Structure 1
Amino acid sequence: MTEFGGPEALHLLDVPEVHAGEGEVRLAVRAAAVNPTDTYARNGTYAQHPTAPQGMPWIPGMDVAGVVDEVGPGTQTPLQVGDRVMAVVVPSGAHGGYREQIALPAASVVPVPAGASDAEAASLPMNGLTARLALDRMGLAAGQVLAVSGAAGAFGGYVVQLAKADGLVVVADAAEADRELVRSLGADVVLERGAGWGDAVLDRYPGGVDGLADGALLGADGARVVRDGGVVSTVRGYRGEDDALARGIRFEAVMVRDYAENTAALDTLRQQAERGEVTLRVADAVPAAEAATAHARLEAGGVRGRLVLVF
């Protein structure tokens, strides 16, 4: 976009060619996932953030899949020109995933899961790494109980699956229409989402659960289901309320940029996708020129899986 606004602010634009520098590879992008964070970049929510780049254009997008078409000089990587890959993108100004060509740190790029399409592969990196980071920061042990809000969403869904792979007991929320989906992801207990969810969790676990991955941004209402001394992983920088802090609850604000060059974590997600431990969920593949339509659909709500732009 060249100005902030609604979905209509997105339009096609020519940008200069980029080349892979030292430590980088360049991708010919075939698919880029659409995430809620992209809509916030587009509408100006992030414009005043201290790390926001100055000037236009801004190109959203944090997940891509495509083909390596250039390896930078001196870059130590097993990747070669022609490899099909997926990557996480930390966007900055014109450096975002919604573009046909992008140069990225080689550490942010791994092969696509065997048998996955470009659109499927593009749905994994950002949300999968965010979920992995959340669980790592929480540090729960096998057998402990994790509550997950927003379990039918991309972040929440990956938290459920990765938590089960880690040996945790998962209690999740879901609307009636999403219950079978959330059960299929492996949740041990699925309770109706909404105002009564917290009470239902506490009815099931009177002393509180060990941790909460708060994908639905419940804030204080979510933290109340956590036992004294437990832990909450949060997105969008929520740091906790006084009463929760007084109960010794630890809040872990999760920013995926902290894992953006964690090659081992991203490649483990690839392996887990190949083993079926995580599911690549694509709601629809949309031509890149129709990005505005994809943003409007996402903001309307109810999308399960990722909308993915294809080039």
Structure 2
Amino acid sequence: MRALVIDSFGGPEVLRIAEVPAPTPPGPGQVRVRVEAATVNPVDLATRSGALAAAGLMPARARTGLGWDVAGVVEETGPGVAEPRPGDRVIGLHDRLDVPLGTQAEQVVLDARALAPAPAGVPAAAAATLPLSGLTALQALDALGLSRGETLLVTGAAGAVGGHTVQLAVARGLRVVASARENDEALVRGLGAERFVPDTADRLGEAVRTLVPGGVAGAVDAAVLGATALDGVRSGGAFAALVAGGAPVPLRGTRVHQIWIRADGRALAALAALAEAGTLTPRVAATLPLAAARDAHERLAAGGVRGRLVLLPQKP
């Protein structure tokens, strides 16, 4: 079968499509999925460039697979798996870095507990955008523990993670202050943000405090602004950093949480239900064949992508 792999670290030129053996039959508690769609995420760029290896988060290997998100069809289940069943449409998250094959392949084997039923009526490409960004947003909000009616700052609110954070926060009854590019104001307000601060503001913290005297109760820093975003949080508030090394010093008694995303099938099922209900919006920036992975990496690295770039591994 075909799979996207790297044999060395570097720019998009190190990406290649390899012909590899199909995954071995799933073991106990595992499921083999025929991949219909797999998104390209910032973690894929960091893996490919070697940034994660340099940070000690993964070793350098002769071959490494790419891809975390997946939407597809169950082909085979291992011992002890009652659900899902062969033929079921699922979404899931591959949350390991050191793997020979990721989800950007024609097939992948995952733990059954990392999967959830795909949202009904949502195309595979759109469904594939939910796991990583949706779970990141959900786990960040859980860590903050804010109460209904409190205010939340979301940086990078027009991006995939930021947008899902806005929508999930609003669904919890939080009042959202969104920060994004000026031309994204209509987009983030459409997602439910009550107030808006352009990311070009000279002093983000002061701009936020002008809207919310004393500062917001918490922040989810999807744009990795660190201390700049923390300045808008009230003393004793809460802050969620989403990227390794992005957590600021917990000034003024702020509770700073470093979010390490993890697979969670039950939580993913809840996100799928929200997508079915229209509360959570899957956002596809573009779909590309697996062979166009280099283009996807270049576009994502250039910035300004709204939603996720989605690879379609199956041959037409």
TM-score by length of 2: 0.93
2:289 matched to 1:281? no
The answer on 1:128 being equivalent to 2:134 is yes
Aligned to 1:304: 306
Q: Distance between the aligned counterparts of 1:37 and 1:54, measured in 2?
A: 15
Take 1:292 and 1:51, find their aligned partners in 2: how far apart are those partners? 23
Measured in 1, the distance between the counterparts of 2:222 and 2:44 equals 16
- Confirm or deny: 8 A CA contact 2:157 2:179 kept in the other structure: yes
Contact 1:56 1:94 in 2 (8 A): no
Contact in 1 for aligned 2:68/2:95 (Cα 8 Å): yes
For structure 1, the 5+ residue unaligned runs are none
> Which residue of 253, 256, 277 maps to 2:258?
253
1:174 corresponds to: 180
Structure 1: which 4+ aligned runs deviate by more than 4 Å? Answer: none
Per the TM alignment, residue 194 of structure 1 is displaced from its structure 2 partner at its CA by 2.1
Residues 98-113 of structure 1 aligned to structure 2 (within 5 Å): 98-113=104-119
1:253 & 1:231 partners in 2: Cα distance? 11
Map 1:113-124 onto structure 2 (within 5 A). Answer: 113-124=119-130
**SS in structure 2 of the partner of residue 73 of structure 1:** coil
Q: 1:195, CA displacement in angstroms?
A: 3.6
* 1:68 partner amino acid: V
User: 2:248 pairs with 240, 245, 254, which one?
Assistant: 240
Whichever residue aligns with residue 295 of structure 1, its letter is H
Out of 77, 84, 92, which is 1:79 matched to?
Answer: 84
Letter in 2 for 1:15: V
**What secondary structure sits across from 1:93 in the alignment?**
coil
Aligned 8 A contact 2:32 2:110 in 1: yes
Q: Using the alignment, how far apart are the partners of 1:255 and 1:108 within structure 2?
A: 15
Q: Which residue of 2 aligns with 1:12?
A: 17
Offset at residue 57 of structure 1 (A): 1.2
Asked whether 1:27 is paired with 2:33, we answer yes
2:189 is the counterpart of 1:200: no
Which amino acid is the alignment partner of residue 127 of structure 1?
S
Task: Name the residue aligned to 1:190.
Answer: 196
Aligned-pair identity in percent equals 46
Contact 1:41 1:47 in 2 (8 A): yes
Alpha-carbon distance in structure 2 between the residues aligned to 1:94 and 1:123 = 22
Partners of 1:33 and 1:226 lie apart in 2 by: 32
Equivalent residue letter for 2:137: A
Answer whether contact 2:205 2:233 (CA < 8 A) is retained.
Answer: no
Q: CA deviation at 1:49?
A: 4.0
Q: Tell me the number of residue pairs that the alignment of Structure 1 and Structure 2 aligns.
A: 304
Distance in 2, matches of 1:29 and 1:239, equals: 34
User: Distance in 2 between the 1:157 and 1:143 partners?
Assistant: 19
Alignment-derived partner of residue 56 in structure 1: 62
After TM superposition, give the deviation of residue 54 of structure 1 in Å: 4.4
**Cα pair 1:90 1:96 within 8 Å, conserved:** no
C-alpha distance after superposition, 1:98-151 (max 9, x if no partner) = 111111010111111111111101111011000000000000010000000000
| 8 Å contact from structure 1 (residues 53, 93) kept in 2 | no
* Amino acid across the alignment from 2:286: D
CA distance in 1, matches of 2:189, 2:144: 23
AA aligned to 2:271 is L
Deviation of 1:236 (Å):
1.6
Cα distance in 2 between the residues matched to 1:294 and 1:252: 30
Aligned to 2:95: 90
TM-score, with structure 1 as normaliser: 0.95
Structural RMSD (CA): 1.2
